[in-house]
Amino acid sequence: MFQEVVNFFITYEFLGISLANWAFAVVLATISFVFARTLIGVFLRKLRKISASSNAPISRIAVVVLSGTSNTLLLLASILIGVGVLDLPERWLVRVSSLWFVVAALQVGLWANRASALALAQYFKRHSASETFQGSALATLSLWGAKVFLWVVVVLAMLSNVGVNITAFVASLGVGGIAIALAMQNILGDVFASLSIAVDKPFEVGDFIVVGSLSGTVEHVGLKTTRIRSLGGEQIVMANADMIGSTIQNYKRLLERRIVFEIALNYGCSAQQVREVPQRIEHIIRQQKKARFDRCHFRSFGESALEFEVVYIVLDPSYNVYMDIQQDINLEIMDAFNEIGVSFALPSRTVYVASIPGGEMPVGRSKEVAMRTSEHST
């Protein structure tokens, strides 16, 4: 019985190849797949132990790269190993060798894709000043460009191996690329604008910026748009080309704030009181720990008030800190003015009437009467 089964496998043929050879090819393919999968698993376990026990970046990269091994491609490679032992015609052997290159190129492409992504992420993390490097346009563009270049090379290599004339193919791609570029001018404009943002860095993720009438914190810089979280809570999406074409105020990079404010006193102040006001204001500002006094001057005689201009520097870029300092200064100025007996001016206007039509002036009074009216602001 056993001899009959053996004779059947030896003598019976499928596609001109005996069943024994087919069975041997299947067994060899299965053993190859199991062996390769086991070998990769052993390497991964050893590399994980090495990367966990010591700070070895190469081991971590190797773990990530080997983890990207495709079981499908591994199975195809094992099948090709089994097919290699079959007595195939010459034309089929050429096709099998081409498939070997395709499988190897795809697997190497997957490994290179993971390695380049991890290497770029580590590079931008190491050279970034903040922890928001993931959202930077330069990182996105670099990763995208590396992937496109890698897979274009892999595809062209596979096409060349299977006999496709890649010279004519590349030429046709160039003509098609020009047509696509003309049809996608706006999108390409935003892409190049994102490249300009990545290189020039007018802002980065996490910066508080003002663009025209819009303001908020940058959340993401993409290839086409930039997303900003406004103070009201809503998300603002702007095209990168519009961002570059506008004036951008970046408050995140503000080191100091120069503050200018004015004070108006009424004309009832004496010359001595006017001389004392700048001294009192300077003393008040110098008492602030996070402020640096610049100047305080009696600037001009206004229409209805004596006008003073005060300039000081806030040493902290935070807006809340500036408002706290300004509030303390305002309260101290009110107390100081009460001490020296001066008061703030109210908007007012003096009208001089030369004569009163239809009326008689009392005896002993001048014909010119001065009338003062005050207009109080609400």
Residue 211's nearest CA partner among 186, 253, 239 is 239
Neighbours of 124 (CB within 10 A): 17
Q: Compute, in degrees rounded to 10, the torsion defined by CA atoms 72, 74, 79, 80.
A: 120
Q: Which amino acid is at 110?
A: L
pLDDT score, position 378:
33
Distance CA 368, CA 24 (A): 128
- Work out whether the CA dihedral 9, 10, 11, 13 comes out positive or negative: positive
Does residue 282 register a pLDDT over 70? yes
- Mean pLDDT score, 96-123: 80
Collapsed DSSP state (helix, strand, coil) of residue 280: helix
Residue 262's nearest CA partner among 273, 278, 279 is 278
CB-based burial label for 186 (10 Å; 0-12, 13-18, 19+)? exposed
Residue 224's nearest CA partner among 122, 102, 137 is 137
Mean pLDDT across the chain, nearest whole number? Answer: 77
What is the CATH T-level fold of the domain 254-378, as seen in this structure? Alpha-Beta Plaits (3.30.70)
- The structural domains of the chain, with segments of one domain joined by +, span 1-127, 129-253, 254-378
Q: Compute, in degrees rounded to 10, the torsion defined by CA atoms 215, 218, 219, 221.
A: 120
Total-model pTM: 0.47
Does residue 85 register a pLDDT over 60? yes
**Worst-scoring range by mean pLDDT, 33-42, 121-130, 255-264, 295-304?**
121-130
> CB of 272 within 8 A of CB of 280?
no
pLDDT in tens, 314-343: 998 888 899 999 999 999 999 999 999 999
Transcribe 147-164 into DSSP letters.
HHHHHHHHHHHHHHHTT-
What is the CATH T-level fold of the domain 129-253, as seen in this structure? SH3 type barrels. (2.30.30)
Binned at pLDDT 50, 70 and 90, residue 137 comes out as low
pLDDT score, position 377:
37
**Worst-scoring range by mean pLDDT, 50-54, 104-108, 252-256?**
50-54
